[in-house]
Amino acid sequence: MDHFHYVNGELHIEGVPASAIAEAHGSPVYVYSAQTFKDHCSVVRSAFSGLEPLICFSVKSCSNLAVLKLLVEQGCGLDVVSGGELYRALQAGAAPEKIVFAGVGKSREELTYAIDAGVFLFNAESEGELARIDEVARAAGKRVKAAVRVNPDVADADTHEKTSTGGRQTKFGVPLLRAEALFERNLYRHVDVVGIHVHLGSPIAATATYLAAIDKVEQLADRIEASGGKIEFINIGGGFPAHYRASEAREYCSLGEMGAAICDRLQGLKRRGKHFIIEPGRSISANAGILLTSVEYVKQGWERKIAIVDAGMNVLLRPTLYGASHAIWPASFGAFDGHWSALPGLGGTNDGEGFDAIDIVGPICETGDYFALGRAMPALDGGDLLAIFSCGAYGMSMASQYNSRGRPAEVMVEKDRQRLIRHRESYADLVAHELCGL
Ligand code: LLP
């Protein structure tokens, strides 16, 4: 469970009213709960305790340095996918031996940086990349470890096509049948190919999808070891779900059940001495953050009322890009007491009795710039502060400056203290890198 509650009608993040954060830092603003991050680390750790895995938080889901530092202090390793994410990880104090480096197109420059930094394990995505890692490691006079990301041809029926990565038609990994050859002993002089990596997509709601892929990974490990190769690490990636709908948040035991089933299925490999890695992103960060945004105007459209808010698709892209549905509600609501998931009217479109159907849209000049269409909401007015829930993952990390709108501020709340962890971008920030001879 997370720490976003209404107290006498006012949304609080831990002990701090949402209104106090908007007053201090303006809107839009991403707000995170430190305690929720910590609790989610414990939930993930306990869900996968049967494997004692290295938990590498997926930096791409929420990459603010303060967040990474907090998670590193909780004992997490980090999963990075670029030189930039590796830089963040090191800045946040992550130990290189707890960093795994994934990503489909690692450049020579990125590999050089990672090998110099002493990154623990590379998740290689192709034959060509392994050859390049070998070459860069040779030049650096080092020997490194790699896992091969395999494409198991396992796809989850409910995962959005743009974030489903385990199917044969996607660009990810090495097709299972081609992978075996890469584990031949002494194929590379400076890379020990000792791990198998899979990441099926994000989020994966069905445990059966993981189990199907795990079976294929186990068979591959058997074949590799039967022909003289050696597997030390099994990395099952991320994709463990978060709670976007109120009903999901009310049934917060699902990760425990999913983890237990996955651990069970991997016990054979555990008994053979394999070490495990997981790369959770959203299951730790999504419900640890919300976006506060203010209503600028409410107008009557042809068919419905339209509330225009001060955040747009440049601030939170998920609804536009994936049709993602986030719970949205005014930060001030009568005398309601309790967790956000108990709010009346949450859980979809038009399901609230006595509420109006309204479009919640941003100020960007695109039709797709909306957070909800026809959503049942209490009557809104200009100046109202709204909370968009479950956007700690892939919210700020996917924000842009589109329409020359600066990215928002980020605030971390810990008990009754709020701390600015990223400034709102100014007009000067928007042009800071441009060279026009002025
Ligand atoms: N490991 C690898 C190799 C990944 O590619 C990803 C996510 C993860 C771990 C973490 O997945 P998670 O546990 O956070 O689901 N922008 C999309 C999600 C894209 C995910 C990309 N890879 C969204 O907003 O839903």
Chain position carrying tokens 């948040």: 249
Answer whether residue 214 is part of any domain.
yes
Q: How far is the CA of 215 from the centre of ligand 1 (A)?
A: 22
pLDDT-derived band at 163 (thresholds 50, 70, 90) equals confident
DSSP conformational letter for 425:
P
Instruction: Indicate whether 253 pLDDT > 60.
Output: no
Contact 255, 203 (CB under 8 A): no
Across 199-207, average pLDDT: 91
Closest CA to 103 of 171, 188, 183: 171
Residue 168's Cβ-count burial label (10 Å; 0-12, 13-18, 19+) is exposed
DSSP string, 328-386: EEESB-TT--EEGGGSTT-SSSS--TT-EEEEEE-SSSSTT-EEEEEEEE----TT-EE
Does the CB atom of residue 285 touch ligand 1 within 6 A? no
pTM value surpassing 0.95: yes
Q: How many CA atoms lie within 13 A of 165 on its CB side?
A: 22
Q: What is the pLDDT of residue 352?
A: 58
Across 322-338, average pLDDT: 95
Residues 307 and 381 grouped into a single domain: yes
**Percent helix, percent strand, percent coil in the chain, to nearest 5:** 35, 25, 40
Instruction: Indicate whether 90 pLDDT > 70.
Output: yes
Which of 135-144, 168-177, 263-272, 393-402 is the least confident region? 168-177
Domain end position, chosen among 233, 255, 278 = 278
Q: What is the pLDDT of residue 348?
A: 47
Answer whether residue 88 is part of any domain.
no
Q: How far is the CA of 358 from the centre of ligand 1 (A)?
A: 31
Instruction: Indicate whether 263 pLDDT > 80.
Output: yes
Whole-angstrom Cα distance, residue 200 to residue 399? Answer: 24
Higher pLDDT, 248 or 364: 364
Does the CB atom of residue 394 touch ligand 1 within 6 A? yes
Q: How far is the CA of 288 from the centre of ligand 1 (A)?
A: 16
Q: CA-based angle 375:377:381, to the nearest 5? A: 115
Instruction: Give the atom of ligand 1 at the shortest distance from the alpha carbon of 203.
Output: 15
Q: How far is the CA of 16 from the centre of ligand 1 (A)?
A: 30
DSSP string, 137-185: HHHHT--EEEEEEEE-----TTS-GGGB-SSTTSS-SEEHHHHGGGG-T
- Residue 95 CA, chain-centre distance (Å), reads 21
Answer whether residue 259 is part of any domain.
yes
Domain tally for the chain? 2
Closest CA to 154 of 192, 201, 186: 201
Answer whether residue 211 is part of any domain.
yes
Across 252-281, average pLDDT: 94
Q: Could you tell me the two tokens for 28? A: 């839009």
DSSP β-bridge partners for residue 422: 410
Residues 234 and 321 grouped into a single domain: no
Answer whether residue 190 is part of any domain.
yes
Instruction: Give the atom of ligand 1 at the shortest distance from the alpha carbon of 280.
Output: 13
Answer whether residue 61 is part of any domain.
no
Residues 303 and 330 grouped into a single domain: yes
Does the CB atom of residue 241 touch ligand 1 within 6 A? no
Q: How far is the CA of 428 from the centre of ligand 1 (A)?
A: 32
3-state secondary structure of 299: strand
Q: What amino acid positions are annotated as catalytic residues?
A: 365
Q: How far is the CA of 51 from the centre of ligand 1 (A)?
A: 21
Whole-angstrom Cα distance, residue 103 to residue 107? Answer: 10
Q: What is the pLDDT of residue 160?
A: 87
Contact 193, 146 (CB under 8 A): yes
Strands 191-197 vs 29-33: parallel, antiparallel or unpaired: unpaired
pLDDT-derived band at 245 (thresholds 50, 70, 90) equals confident
Q: What is the pLDDT of residue 350?
A: 46
Whole-angstrom Cα distance, residue 4 to residue 286? Answer: 12
Does the CB atom of residue 201 touch ligand 1 within 6 A? no
Residues 246 and 116 grouped into a single domain: yes
- Residue 401 CA, chain-centre distance (Å), reads 20
Q: Could you tell me the two tokens for 70? A: 């907090």
Does the CB atom of residue 166 touch ligand 1 within 6 A? no
Contact 99, 119 (CB under 8 A): yes
Residues 194 and 240 grouped into a single domain: yes
Instruction: Indicate whether 283 pLDDT > 70.
Output: yes
Does the CB atom of residue 82 touch ligand 1 within 6 A? no
CATH number at residue 350: 2.40.37.10
Answer whether residue 84 is part of any domain.
no
Instruction: Indicate whether 349 pLDDT > 70.
Output: no
Answer whether residue 96 is part of any domain.
no
DSSP β-bridge partners for residue 330: 386
Does the CB atom of residue 237 touch ligand 1 within 6 A? yes
Terminal Cα-to-Cα distance of the chain (whole angstroms): 52
Whole-angstrom Cα distance, residue 426 to residue 8? Answer: 35
Does the CB atom of residue 239 touch ligand 1 within 6 A? yes
Residues 418 and 331 grouped into a single domain: yes
Q: How far is the CA of 239 from the centre of ligand 1 (A)?
A: 6
Neighbours of 92 (CB within 10 A): 20
Chain position carrying tokens 């999913």: 258
Across 117-134, average pLDDT: 97
Q: Whose CA is nearest to atom 24 of ligand 1?
A: 394
Best substitution site from 61, 129, 200, 322 to test ligand 1's pocket, by max atoms within 8 Å of Cβ? Answer: 61
Q: How far is the CA of 282 from the centre of ligand 1 (A)?
A: 7
Domain end position, chosen among 278, 303, 325 = 278
Does the CB atom of residue 203 touch ligand 1 within 6 A? yes
The edge-to-edge listing of strands for the beta sheet with 4-7 is: 16-17, 10-13, 4-7, 338-339
DSSP conformational letter for 280:
-
Instruction: Give the atom of ligand 1 at the shortest distance from the alpha carbon of 321.
Output: 24
pLDDT-derived band at 318 (thresholds 50, 70, 90) equals very high
Residues 418 and 393 grouped into a single domain: yes
CATH number at residue 206: 3.20.20.10
Instruction: Give the atom of ligand 1 at the shortest distance from the alpha carbon of 103.
Output: 3
Residues 152 and 240 grouped into a single domain: yes
Does the CB atom of residue 163 touch ligand 1 within 6 A? yes
Residues 323 and 346 grouped into a single domain: yes
Whole-angstrom Cα distance, residue 372 to residue 196? Answer: 40
At 29-58, the pLDDT tens digits run 999 999 999 999 999 999 999 999 999 999
Instruction: Give the atom of ligand 1 at the shortest distance from the alpha carbon of 204.
Output: 15
Residues 161 and 270 grouped into a single domain: yes
Average pLDDT, the chain: 95
Chain position carrying tokens 């730790």: 284
Q: Whose CA is nearest to atom 6 of ligand 1?
A: 238
Instruction: Give the atom of ligand 1 at the shortest distance from the alpha carbon of 281.
Output: 14
DSSP conformational letter for 201:
B
Domain end position, chosen among 278, 310, 325 = 278
DSSP β-bridge partners for residue 158: none
- Residue 178's domain comprises 103-278
Which of 70-74, 281-285, 342-346 is the least confident region? 342-346
Q: Whose CA is nearest to atom 22 of ligand 1?
A: 202
DSSP conformational letter for 309:
E
Residues 200 and 244 grouped into a single domain: yes
Residues 318 and 202 grouped into a single domain: no
